[in-house]
Structure 1
Amino acid sequence: MFSHLRHRVVQAPMAGTSTPELAVAVCEAGALGFLALGTLDAAGARKAIRSVRQGTDRAFGVNLFCHAPARRDAAREAGWIETLRPAFGRFGAEPPTALSEIYPTFRGNDAVLAVLLAERPAIVGCHFGLPGSDQIAALKAAGCRLWATATSVAEGRAVRDAGFDVIVAQGYEAGGHRGIFDPDGPDGRLDHLALVRALLPLGLPVVAAGAIMDRDSARIAMDAGAVAVQCGTAFLRAPESAAPPAHRAALSGGRTVITRAISGRPARCLVNDFTVIDDAAAADYPVAYDIGKALNAAALAQGNTGYGAFWAGTGATASLARPAADTVRAISP
């Protein structure tokens, strides 16, 4: 599965910031590029896959969100709207009166599954959990290799038992959303090295993810037993990334925190005005993300970038502005 790679580097599928151009650049550099499809509908997923295929004939992966549907709670959602109302007021704006479940899960999504079965990407990755057994069987029959994120041994065991091919060990240092299956369940907060070592006895190849920013950290992960390293934050400043200028600039500050305030799920973000809001009463994912995006839009309209979803890992200060291919070569163990 990894024998065709010149570099054992995997570009993380970062919804909102990774692009087809980034995946192409990483693949052409001899590593493994990924597309983030979790926020796209079937038409958008097809377009993104075909865009990558226009740029490279190398294998690449796609990634999907497999979260449980949002637990709708009108009282909780109304309370979260009121919690954020003062922040909207800073910009002379009103919050939305109702919230929507803006990102459907891949579970039971026949339209997106049909696209994957027609396009047959080499790898289909899953985040936040696993798809249904019928979807898994269909993807395997189509020749797709299956990857899934795990943050614990229990999740890794579920990945293995579902017939997946690779486990992505997401350490607590990693930027963006925790891949934890149950966001309200216990979180051991293992770093990527401890998690890799804990997952190896399950018998599947393990890819290490979490603040891997240079060759030394990649070598350490490989020495711990990882077959490859997955990097996201390291690619944020690449010209092929869609990260906005404010996000790129904020990386220099380096301070990150796990918060639910932005989306309703725990995610590691660069510290900003949003991350200091008490997230205890946040609406469920992805309902909370609906108002989170509205608040960011209201702030941006007034020239304020303090409410962006500036996802990043704990190694943010080590990120460099350079082409994606250069980052691949710099990190390759």
Structure 2
Amino acid sequence: MLDRLGVTIPIIQAPMAGVSTPELAAAVSNAGGLGSLGLGATDAAGARAMIQSTRDRTRRAFNVNLFVHAPARPDPAREAAWLAALRPLFAEQGAEPPAALRTIYRSFAEDEDMLAVLLEAPPPVVSFHFGLPSTDRIAALRQAGCVLLATATSLAEARAIEAAGIDAVVAQGWEAGGHRGVFDPGAPDDRLGTLALVRLLAARGRAPVIAAGGIMDGAGIRAALALGAMAAQLGTAFIACPESSADLAHREGLRGPGGAHTVMTPAISGRPARCLANRFTAWGATAPPAVPDYPIAYDAGKALAAAAKARGEAGFGAHWAGQGAPLSRALPAAALTELLWQEAQAAP
């Protein structure tokens, strides 16, 4: 499976939408791992440009990741209540909330233009988050020669991934930064940790397993491999790399007080996601009104973060990070990838 992924070392840079860049993905791939692009926050034209930019920088395999969430259901009353609750926060930043909220990202489940981009010049690896696309889309990508991955947070989700014919399962533990990959955010979540989930899927599943969540160094990679994972996926570990597009507040926050107190919250985007503790996460813990669907709620979250950032306030940013954030290292991506594998091989 590692040969099919085109890697020489079992390290995958997580596809962090809004943070991962072609420069970052290419650097990791050129170092022998699998670099990734997060396409969930862009449209077909943006995806085409990012994929081509990555191809310009590496001849090795790379991964593109797509969000396959259930299409958002507009609810004007719920959205109006959400905006009213946010109004005092906007006022503190000298701004008005949006008059109405939009569905700012399309799910791959209904994005024909994105599918066309992937099929016109198929990337080596395609991964799915939040669920699975239709069987015809999976078949088309497989026929185009793509290796397919999908995120699971439970054994039930992993079995659905296996039944769909996906090549490998990304086992995302509760520790992981960014958006939780649950198929149904309204269903009960057992919140399995990475190590327990990896071992469960390796022992009870059929597909190869990729460990994701809280892994920051070679010792973590070695532990994941020992539990049956074929590779480890790291996201937060690469945020501080110069090739990422993370802003200064995000980079500094990894090693600051918020890094040791990451929070899982739906308040920023409308789906549970783990980020650095800040003013937005604190507000989200005060029982505000029912959050609108993802990504409708994210329209408000982005507007608030932009208003605050314009005044020098970083406490409302979507600074996604996993529980291992304090272990981050600000190294070039290739050097970090090589160091991670050296550490993994040296770990007792």
Q: Could you say which TM-score interval applies, normalised by the shorter chain?
A: over 0.9
Q: Secondary structure at 1:7's aligned position in 2?
A: coil
Find the aligned partners of 1:112 and 1:6 in 2 and give their Cα distance: 29
Q: Which has the higher helix share?
A: 2
Contact 2:173 2:193 in 1 (8 A): yes
Partner of 2:2: 2
Number of aligned positions between the proteins: 333
1:246 pairs, out of 224, 231, 249, with 249
Contact 1:169 1:209 in 2 (8 A): yes
What per-residue deviation string (whole Å, max 9, x for no partner) do you get for residues 90-119 of structure 1? 011110110000000000211110110111
C-alpha displacement of 1:280: 5.4
In structure 2, give the amino acid aligned to 1:325: A
2:279 pairs with 1:277: no
Contact 1:77 1:283 in 2 (8 A): yes
Amino-acid identity (%): 58
Find the aligned partners of 1:92 and 1:47 in 2 and give their Cα distance: 36
1:82 pairs, out of 70, 81, 84, with 84
C-alpha displacement of 1:38: 0.9
Find the aligned partners of 1:96 and 1:126 in 2 and give their Cα distance: 31
Q: Secondary structure at 2:279's aligned position in 1?
A: coil
1:103 pairs, out of 98, 101, 105, with 105
Two-structure CA RMSD over aligned residues (Å): 0.9
Q: Secondary structure at 2:17's aligned position in 1?
A: coil
What per-residue deviation string (whole Å, max 9, x for no partner) do you get for residues 43-77 of structure 1? 11111111011001001110000000112111110
In the alignment, structure 2 segments of 5+ residues that lack a partner are none
2:271 pairs with 1:265: yes
Find the aligned partners of 2:62 and 2:7 in 1 and give their Cα distance: 11
In structure 1, give the amino acid aligned to 2:265: T
Partner of 1:296: 305
Find the aligned partners of 2:236 and 2:183 in 1 and give their Cα distance: 22
Contact 2:180 2:274 in 1 (8 A): yes
Q: Secondary structure at 2:16's aligned position in 1?
A: coil
Instruction: Map 1:119-268; keep pairs closer than 5 Å.
Output: 119-200=121-202, 201-252=204-255, 253=257, 254=259, 255-268=261-274
TM, length-normalised to structure 1: 0.98
Q: Secondary structure at 2:309's aligned position in 1?
A: helix
In the alignment, structure 1 segments of 5+ residues that lack a partner are none
Contact 1:49 1:119 in 2 (8 A): no
In structure 2, give the amino acid aligned to 1:224: L
TM, length-normalised to structure 2: 0.94
What per-residue deviation string (whole Å, max 9, x for no partner) do you get for residues 247-279 of structure 1? 000111221010011000000010001001135
Find the aligned partners of 2:189 and 2:156 in 1 and give their Cα distance: 11
Q: Secondary structure at 1:107's aligned position in 2?
A: helix
C-alpha displacement of 1:233: 0.3
Q: Secondary structure at 2:282's aligned position in 1?
A: coil
